[in-house]
Amino acid sequence: MDGIFQINDNQVVETAHHFFITICAVSGSGGMEVYMDKELLKVLAAREQRWEMRRSIVEKQQNCLITITLCVPLLYRTDEEFRILFLKLCNNFYKTLVFKGHQVCFENCIQGDDGPAVFISTETEAKEIKKICVEAEESIIGGRILDIDVMDRDGSPVGRGDIGLPPRKCFICENPAAICVSRRLHSANEISKCVMQLKKLIESNNEQFNKSPLPLIKDVYEEKDGISDDNQVKM
């Protein structure tokens, strides 16, 4: 993934913001014990499941696949209010694709330990659709909290570099996001403040989502008996 808080599902390691590696002093030994938090293991398992789902959809549909996730810290990715905002933004992005004349189809929605994800297949060529995804991340109101990935018909990820674009910028300082992540240039408070500002911006423009003739993904969720971790809703 191109976002500041996430990396590609197929990559093994997490970014610094996602590594909950706890260093504990071993009483009386003077040594140190390193272990991975159980929550991290759940997140890694959820990402592996999502990666396998992406590959499965591509293999079945023989089309390119768009995967949308939240590009915010885990605390917000699993928050109910952010889930609702996410679904509204996904709906807005879907409208953009339809209005531009692309043949698209909702494939699935999931909610797991790494937050929500929406899967959309398309007949549009991978590099072309990636350009549109990048534009959406940067132009849709609140699009900065979205991570919109593309997989081609062969199951290979298509990134910004594949279409001649530089890496995604950090939404705090405008430096390449990977640098800010690896060097931990921003404090948790600074990140939280920025995320909440984006949340307010999305909420202040909430009317645009309610004028859509297309059904919100949120409506599909509400037709069920609620959602739980890793629950899948076929679109």
For residue range 153-182, list pLDDT tens digits in order.
Answer: 999 999 999 999 999 988 888 889 888 888
* Predicted pLDDT at 232: 39
pLDDT at 217: 52
d(CA 160, CA 176): 12
Between CA 130 and CA 126 the distance in angstroms is 6
What pLDDT is recorded for position 141?
87
Q: How far is residue 2's CA from residue 178's CA, in Å, rounded to a whole number?
A: 9
β-partners of residue 64 are: 122
pLDDT greater than 60 at residue 199: yes
Higher pLDDT, 67 or 13: 67
Full-prediction pTM beyond 0.75? yes
Residue 47 has pLDDT above 80, yes or no: yes
pLDDT averaged over every residue in the chain: 79
Does residue 198 carry a pLDDT above 50? Answer: yes
Tokens encoding 27:
């009483």
Q: Is the model's pLDDT at 103 over the cut of 80? A: yes
Average pLDDT over residues 184-207: 88
Phi, psi of 189 (to 5 degrees): -65, -40
CB atoms within 10 A of CB 218: 18
Lowest-pLDDT choice from 80-84, 191-195, 227-231: 227-231
DSSP-assigned states of every residue in 3-20: SSS---TT-SSPPGGG--
Backbone Cα Rg of the chain: 18
27 alpha-carbon distance from chain centroid: 40
- Rounded to the nearest 5°, which phi and psi values hold at 182? -65, -30
Using N-to-C axis directions, what is the helix angle for 126-139 and 80-99, rounded to 10°? 130
